[in-house]
Structure 1
């Protein structure tokens, strides 16, 4: 098949370098790694059922099993070489390339759920500002624990966006205009002062 002959024309080092999995680029990475496996004739390793060890290691069953084992090893190398070192530890001990991709899928589906929660979380009237800030802080920590990194200004924007405008609108405007950047504890203290002033 023509697709299987593509491997001789592809610079895998360049392709894997351009599509290293870092976390946020998971969707693009998965599409690219499947293209690489297809070009190398290894896509069946992650799409078909894993073969069981044959009762007798001879004949066609043995040959098919050995071929799968060799191709699975090649597929694992392609996957591992296209993943950032900080992510490899979560899958490097898995025996099959198919299991590696399934594990990464579960990991980043979980991240997407957490990200959705982050952006949809708004402060409610029965919770204090400091408790709300800590709630979002804990959500960020959960995401960072599974490999996602955030810049301070992004985390600050998410928190400020989640606050009620009638209480914090002026503070948010001044904060952004003056380009203030502070860590969570100090931001929490500043917002507590805003909340206390609003209650006077």
Structure 2
């Protein structure tokens, strides 16, 4: 199975940002492109006579473009249109800004529900335990 098909199966549509981002990180590690989103931007070499620095910068630009293409290909068409003219680093920052706050609110709501859960002494234990497990698993998915 190719990297692109894995990302295509889990296209970013918005509410699945954290799952998508985790999968993206795995794919980028496999493709040896993870540095393009985890490390600072490589500056263009000042001296064009330094062949090694120029070569490293060209490789960085190629990796940068490959990563951007992977990311855009793994998004819904609406998100592609919104982000296609953005720089790779700006795309990641914008997505985190858009969907990161949403997950904090969701985490808060789930935590509140979990911590306020009360067991009814007259009820069966099984459904209550399953509900608690479900809430914990949802929180775990959100990180």
Short-chain TM bin: 0.5 to 0.7
Q: 1:103 aligns with which of 91, 94, 104?
A: 94
Q: 1:62 aligns with which of 54, 70, 85?
A: 54
In structure 1, the residue matched to 2:2 is 11
In structure 2, the residue matched to 1:37 is 28
TM-score by length of 1: 0.49
Residue segments in structure 1 that go unaligned for 5+ positions in a row: 1-9, 120-200
Q: RMSD over aligned Cα, in angstroms?
A: 2.2
2:37, 2:89 within 8 Å by CA — same for their partners in 1? yes
How far apart are residue 78 of structure 1 and its match?
Answer: 0.4
Q: SS where residue 60 of structure 1 aligns?
A: helix
Work out the CA distance in 1 between the residues paired with 2:29 and 2:2.
14
Residue segments in structure 2 that go unaligned for 5+ positions in a row: 110-143
> Larger radius of gyration, structure 1 or 2?
1
How far apart are residue 114 of structure 1 and its match?
Answer: 6.2
TM-score by length of 2: 0.67
Work out the CA distance in 1 between the residues paired with 2:15 and 2:55.
40
Aligned length: 109
**What's the CA shift string for 1:90-145, capped at 9, x where partnerless?**
322122x233212111110233356689x7xxxxxxxxxxxxxxxxxxxxxxxxxx
- The alignment status of 1:76 with 2:74, answered yes or no, reads no
Q: 1:94 aligns with which of 86, 98, 112?
A: 86
1:45-194 pair list within 5 angstroms: 45-58=36-49, 59-95=51-87, 97-112=88-103
Work out the CA distance in 2 between the residues paired with 1:53 and 1:69.
10
